[in-house]
Amino acid sequence: MKRVTMLAVLVGLLLPAVGRAEDPAPLVLEAKIPLGAVAGRIDHFAFDPDRQLLFVAELGNDSVGIVDLNARQVLHRITGLSEPQGVAYHPATSTLYVANAGDGSVRLFQGPDFAPAGGIALGDDADNIRVDSWRNRIVVGYGKGALAVIDPASRKKTSDMPLKGHPESFQFDEAGSRIFVNVPDARQIAVVDASSGQQISTLDTPGASSNFPMAVDPDEHRLLVVLRSPAKLMVFATPTGKLERTFDTCRDADDVFVDSRRRRIYVSCGEGVIDILAQTSSGYERIGRIPTVVGARTSLFVPTKDRLYLGVRASGTEPAAIWVFRPHP
């Protein structure tokens, strides 16, 4: 009797553990899309919603890969670039914009076959690109401190927004009236008036530096900034700029995204993990840390596809690929 009772207790203790082990993670690796013979670092992505294409800045390969997400294969590759960092797609003109760190240019490629369509010389370290849908223009971070404004009709630079250092990630607020800009060299987040192009205020990052990735949560009116030194997520209120909360996160982060449907945050990090944080009544808590590959730090969450795409550079154990993650549940 005593032996039976002990067995029942052990079974009762083990069954929940077994059930928990079988529960899917918050992100499930669904597929790996091979990029082919691509060497070196992979940088940022852009998305064409009409043709379901993913544009991949293959910085170390001096190319941009164009991936058909429905067929899950490389459709085309643009070569002969100069360390492409940022990419953006302008749907109204079917134009792909590619910012090159090597020669400081922004090169244009016209759909549907993405033939060369000219370029704009910015001079130095062209980096992140955003489409300003409120004003129908292209904004590019570059040089020792500026956001360049490009008119998609004339395909020329029309103005500069001065900054106090080289801009990394930048995002428009939920109304499109201000631009939040990570300026790690100045140890600040610049707040720029999107109409005048002038910096109007600064958000400080107390006790931390190297602020690279950034996202805006429009539903919660929050700005999310991830810093590398030390590895922290800082949450600011967009109306006031007040720092609300700080959380630990993974190291060497390069992208952060908001999953509005699930009230989650995804942070992709070069240490070889993706952090998943869920919104709670008191802030956020980590609900998962998904192992990836060291150096795989750039990603893109596409809400309409409900997928997170991660760039994995070629290594001794992994070929260059786009890993496709499906959120769960």
Per domain, the residue ranges of the chain are: 42-162
| Spatial contact of 161 and 223, defined as CB atoms under 8 Å apart | no
Q: In the CATH scheme, what is the code of domain 42-162?
A: 2.130.10.10
- pLDDT tens digits along 95-144: 999 999 999 999 999 999 999 999 999 999 999 999 999 999 999 999 99
Which residues are within 8 A (CB) of 42 and not within 5 positions of it... i.e. 6 or more apart? 56, 57, 58, 59, 60, 296, 298, 311, 312, 313, 320
Range 205-228 average pLDDT: 97
On the question of a cis peptide bond just before residue 303, with omega within 30 degrees of 0, the verdict is no
Q: What is the mean pLDDT of the chain?
A: 94
> What pLDDT shows up at residue 24?
84
Helical (H) or strand (E) element with 126: none
